[in-house]
Chains A and B, each alone.
Chain A
Amino acid sequence: MDFFGNALMGFQVALQPINLMFCFLGVVTGTLVGVLPGLGPVGAMSLLLPTTFHVSPVSAIIMLAGIYYGAMYGGSTTSILVNIPGEAASVVTCLDGYKMALQGRAGPALGISAFGSLIAGTLSVMGLMFIAPPLAEIALRFGPPEYFSLMILGLTILTFLASGPMWKALLMAALGLFLGCIGMDPDSGTFRFTGGILELSDGVGLVPVAMGLFGISEVMLNVEQSMGRSVFQTKIKNLLPTLQDWRASFWPIIRGTILGFFLGILPGGGAVISSFVSYAVEKKISPHPEKFGTGMIAGVAGPESANNAATGGAFIPLLTLAIPANAVMALLLGALIIYGIKPGPMLVKEHPALFWGVIASMYLGNVMLLILNLPLIGLWVKLLKVPYPILFPLILLFCLIGSYSLNNSILEMGLMVLFGVIGYLFKKFQYEAAPMVLALVLGPMMEHSFRQSLAMSDGSPFFFFQRPISSVIMGLAFFLLIFPLLPWFKRKRPAFSE
Chain B
Amino acid sequence: MNHDQISSAGLFVIGLAICLGSIPYKLGSFSTPESGFMPFLIGMAITVFSAVGFIHSTMRKKNGEEWSSLMRGVRWQNSLIILASLWGYVFLLMPLGFFLCTTLFMAFLFRAIVPHRWPLVIGGALLTSTAAYVLFEVWLKAQLPKGLWGI
Contacts and interface: CB of A to CB of B under 8 A. Distances in A.
Given A216-B86, A224-B76, A404 B42 contact: no
B113 A450 contact: no
Contacts of A410: 90, 93-94
Nearest to A228: B114
Contacts of B38: 177, 181, 447, 450-451
A393 B30 contact: no
- Majority secondary structure, B binding face: helix
Interface in A440-490: 447, 450-451, 454-455, 458-461
Given A224-B74, A227-B114, A461-B30, A417 B18 contact: no
Interface in B29-55: 29-39, 42-43, 45-46, 49-50, 52-53
A470 B74 CA distance: 48
Interface string B54-69: 0010000000000000
Contacts of B18: 178
Nearest to A421: B83
- Majority secondary structure, A binding face: helix
Interface residues of B, number: 64
Interface string A372-402: 0000000000000001011011101100110
Contacts of B116: 389
Interface size class of A (residues with CB under 8 A): 35 or more
Contact of B142 (A185, A193, A405, A458): A405
A185 B35 CA distance: 6
Contact of B105 (A50, A223, A397): A397
A174 B42 contact: yes
Contacts of B144: 401, 404-405
A347 to B, nearest CB: 26
A257 B114 CA distance: 43
B53 A168 contact: yes
Contacts of B90: 400, 410, 413-414, 417
Nearest to B143: A408
A74 B46 CA distance: 38
Given A192-B35, A225-B74, A396-B86, 20 more contacts: A51-B136, A167-B50, A171-B50, A178-B18, A181-B38, A185-B25, A190-B25, A192-B36, A219-B82, A220-B82, A223-B79, A223-B81, A224-B79, A389-B113, A390-B124, A397-B106, A400-B105, A401-B132, A401-B144, A408-B142
Interface of A: 50-51, 54, 165, 167-168, 170-171, 174-175, 177-178, 181, 185, 187-188, 190, 192-193, 216, 219-221, 223-225, 227, 387, 389-390, 392-394, 396-397, 400-401, 404-405, 408, 410, 413-414, 417, 420-421, 424, 428-431, 447, 450-451, 454-455, 458-461
16 contacts: A167-B53, A170-B45, A174-B45, A175-B46, A190-B25, A192-B25, A220-B78, A225-B75, A387-B114, A394-B128, A397-B132, A400-B105, A421-B83, A447-B38, A451-B38, A459-B31
